[in-house]
Amino acid sequence: MVADAGLSNVRLVLLDALPGLDESRVGEDRVVSRAAAVDGTLEAAATDRFSIRLKKGQRLTVDAWARRLGSSLDPAIRLTGPDGGSLASADDSPGLAGDAMVSTVVPAAGLYTVAITDVSRRGGAGFFYRLRLGHFEPVAMAFPFRVRAGRTSQLQLLGPRVAQTLSLAASTPVGMTWVGGPAGSGGGRSLLPVQVVAGDVLVEREPNGSRQQAMTLPVGGRVSGRFGEPGDRDWYRISLKKGASCRSSATPRRSVPPAVCT
């Protein structure tokens, strides 16, 4: 917001296909009647619980948004069945900037409960969250992670049961953007970050599994790559002048979230 006195702090907003539900409007039984995104705030040492009734064989994906919205909350989530037994839990799921996600196909009909808390048991006004409860397939990431502005890019969605390619428009502005995975029944889908940059972007080209097949990179270049199978190796080649020094670094990211049950 801009006013005569200046500019307010920036707050991130998530535009979601899931219907929104404020925590205060959930009944005393804490049952959510359908797929929805619950907005709430955690007090210190508190745990919020919400239940949803599911059919046998139905998928439930729980996607906790907090850090990705600028919240101080470091969320941990747990899904329990009608008998109170734990089915899945997560904290700091790969690729979610400290947030958490679990997904499972439930073994029996009944009332399933999701619990969310802060890992350090902190709380307050700045510890807000959006807890997405849906029936969509989990997608771990979009590849490549970084694309060049001004041209149409093809992105591959990577997940346990997802094999889909989508196009990112050339008009997408520089910065972080979000793309969606396959939609689930009742609304909702996995949301995945992609970095749009103004400079050149390099993507690994196969075959490059040996020294002789090494892909040439410019000094100072960045490349997005992935290991397609166990034991995969990717080779790269750069040209340096005598006496020059070179430093390289890699930022790994897992493509399959661990808390996905089939």
* 158, part of any domain: yes
Tell whether 151 and 177 lie within a shared domain. yes
- Domain of residue 14, residue span: 9-134
* 117, part of any domain: yes
The phi and psi torsions of 48 (rounded to 5 degrees) equal: -95, 140
* 190, part of any domain: yes
Q: What is the pLDDT of residue 258?
A: 42
- Contact assessment for residue 97 and residue 116, using Cβ atoms and an 8 Å cutoff: no
The whole-model pTM stands at 0.80
Q: Which of the listed residues 116, 134, 152 is the one where a domain comes to its end?
A: 134
Tell whether 108 and 219 lie within a shared domain. no
Q: What is the pLDDT of residue 261?
A: 45
Q: What is the pLDDT of residue 187?
A: 75
For residue range 16-41, list pLDDT tens digits in order: 788 888 998 888 889 999 999 999 99
* 84, part of any domain: yes
Tell whether 86 and 183 lie within a shared domain. no
Which of 79, 71, 90 is CA-nearest to residue 52? Answer: 79
* 156, part of any domain: yes
Tell whether 82 and 183 lie within a shared domain. no
Q: What is the pLDDT of residue 46?
A: 97
Residue 230 CB burial class (10 angstroms; 0-12, 13-18, ≥19): exposed
Q: What is the pLDDT of residue 205?
A: 86
Tell whether 19 and 114 lie within a shared domain. yes
- Contact assessment for residue 204 and residue 214, using Cβ atoms and an 8 Å cutoff: no
Residue 208 has a CB neighbour count (10 Å cut-off) of: 19
Residues 64 and 69: their CA atoms lie apart, in Å, by 10
Q: What is the pLDDT of residue 256?
A: 46
* 167, part of any domain: yes
Q: What is the pLDDT of residue 81?
A: 97
Tell whether 109 and 218 lie within a shared domain. no
What total of structural domains would you count in the chain?
3
- Contact assessment for residue 136 and residue 182, using Cβ atoms and an 8 Å cutoff: yes
CATH number, domain containing residue 126: 2.60.120.380
Q: Which of the listed residues 134, 166, 185 is the one where a domain comes to its end?
A: 134
Tell whether 64 and 152 lie within a shared domain. no
Tell whether 101 and 19 lie within a shared domain. yes
Name the stretches of the chain with pLDDT < 70.
1, 8, 10-11, 253-262
* 261, part of any domain: no
Tell whether 173 and 64 lie within a shared domain. no
Do you find a cis peptide bond into 82, omega within 30 degrees of 0?
Answer: no
Tell whether 192 and 211 lie within a shared domain. no
Q: What is the pLDDT of residue 253?
A: 63
Query: How many residues comprise the chain?
Result: 262
Q: What is the pLDDT of residue 10?
A: 67
Tell whether 155 and 207 lie within a shared domain. no
* 183, part of any domain: yes
Tell whether 103 and 193 lie within a shared domain. no
Which of 258, 47, 220, 2 is CA-nearest to residue 140? Answer: 258
- Contact assessment for residue 11 and residue 98, using Cβ atoms and an 8 Å cutoff: no
Residues 181 and 163: their CA atoms lie apart, in Å, by 10
